[in-house]
């Protein structure tokens, strides 16, 4: 069974600085998708970024980028120029290309200090 | 474009009762997913519906059930409520990108179920 591990329960960053959130996963499959979701106190889960395993290029969305290391089964999220609105729980998620249940990590709570 | 909507926002029930949670997907999305987010336990996959059929089920007892309507909205029913069913229940929707493939899931705001 696929598992997703986020080893940092909490992280903090100074406003305007850069922070990296870690995620590792375990799978025997070669075709899959990886996601980072953000859940602010309002509870709404918001998609931050998505990566297809077959793509070697790391996904980027404005201030958010990933470091996808397929051999190491690592999928970290880098947030540049952190803003107060980035404060939230961040969940890493895995989805096999052959099924549609998502496996989520336990989450990392990010605090942004002004 | 309206996002995924869920109702009610909060639901308080007593042990043994039944709870019904509702979800409306994004227009054009045919797949609906249900997740349970219990405190400190992360998100656990419950159910996946597509085109009115249950496609996949997580490791939950049969008292968790649901259905999808012709307009692709969905209900989650939890029978014989237990205290540990207290959680945030999240619904997500996605398009179908092809055989056995679905697109990115977009989440609703959730329903907070409290069982007393």
A39 to chain B nearest CA, in Å?
10
- Which residue bears the tokens 């997703």? A4
A vs B: CB pairs below 8 A: 51
Q: If you average pLDDT over residues A13-17, what whole number do you get?
A: 97
B36 to chain A nearest CA, in Å?
11
d(CA B85, CA B43) in angstroms, rounded, equals 13
Q: Residue A85: what are its φ and ψ, rounded to 5°?
A: -70, -5
Q: If you average pLDDT over residues B19-38, what whole number do you get?
A: 94
pLDDT digits (tens, 9 = 90+) for B90-106: 999 998 755 555 578 89
A108 to chain B nearest CA, in Å?
10
A48's torsion region: left (phi>0), alpha (psi -120 to 50) or beta? Answer: alpha
Burial of A52 per CB tally in 10 Å (0-12, 13-18, 19+): middle
Looking at the DSSP bridge assignments, the partners of residue B42 are B38
* Residue B40 predicted with pLDDT over 80: no
Find the closest chain B residue to A101 by CA distance: B45
DSSP secondary structure of B3-35: --EEE-SEEEE-TT--EEEEEEPPTT--EEEEE
In the structure, what pLDDT confidence band is assigned to residue A43 with cuts at 50, 70 and 90? confident
Which residue did the predictor score with more confidence, B96 or A80? A80
* Residue B24 predicted with pLDDT over 80: yes
Query: Quick one: tokens of B38?
Result: 């219990």
CA angle A100, A104, A108 (to 5 degrees): 155
CB-CB contact of B23 with B76 (8 Å): yes
Alpha helices, DSSP H only, in chain B?
Answer: none
Nearest Cβ partner for A44 among B102, B104, B109: B109
pLDDT on residue A98 = 75
Cβ separation A45–B92 shorter than 8 A: yes
Cβ separation A47–B106 shorter than 8 A: yes
pLDDT on residue B99 = 52
């Amino acid at each position: 069974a696929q598992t997703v591990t986020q080893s940092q329960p909490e992280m903090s960053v100074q406003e305007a600085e850069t922070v990296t959130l870690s995620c590792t996963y375990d799978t025997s499959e070669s075709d899959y998708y990886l996601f980072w979701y953000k859940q602010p106190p309002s509870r709404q889960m918001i998609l931050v970024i998505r990566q297809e395993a077959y793509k070697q290029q790391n996904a980027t969305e404005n201030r958010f980028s990933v470091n996808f290391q397929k051999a190491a089964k690592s999928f970290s999220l880098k947030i540049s120029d952190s803003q107060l609105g980035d404060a939230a729980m961040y969940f890493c998620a895995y989805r096999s290309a052959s099924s549609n249940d998502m496996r989520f990590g336990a989450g990392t709570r990010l605090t942004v200090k002004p | 474009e309206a996002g995924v909507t869920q109702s009610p926002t909060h639901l308080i029930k007593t042990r043994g009762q039944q709870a019904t949670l509702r979800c409306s997907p994004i227009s054009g999305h045919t797949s609906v997913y249900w997740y349970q987010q219990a405190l400190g336990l992360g998100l656990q996959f419950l159910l996946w519906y597509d085109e009115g059929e249950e496609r996949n089920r997580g490791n939950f007892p049969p008292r968790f059930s649901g259905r999808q309507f012709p307009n692709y909205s969905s209900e989650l029913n939890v029978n014989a409520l237990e205290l540990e069913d207290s959680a945030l229940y999240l619904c997500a929707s996605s398009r179908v990108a092809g055989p056995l493939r679905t697109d990115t899931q977009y989440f609703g705001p959730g329903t907070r179920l409290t069982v007393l």
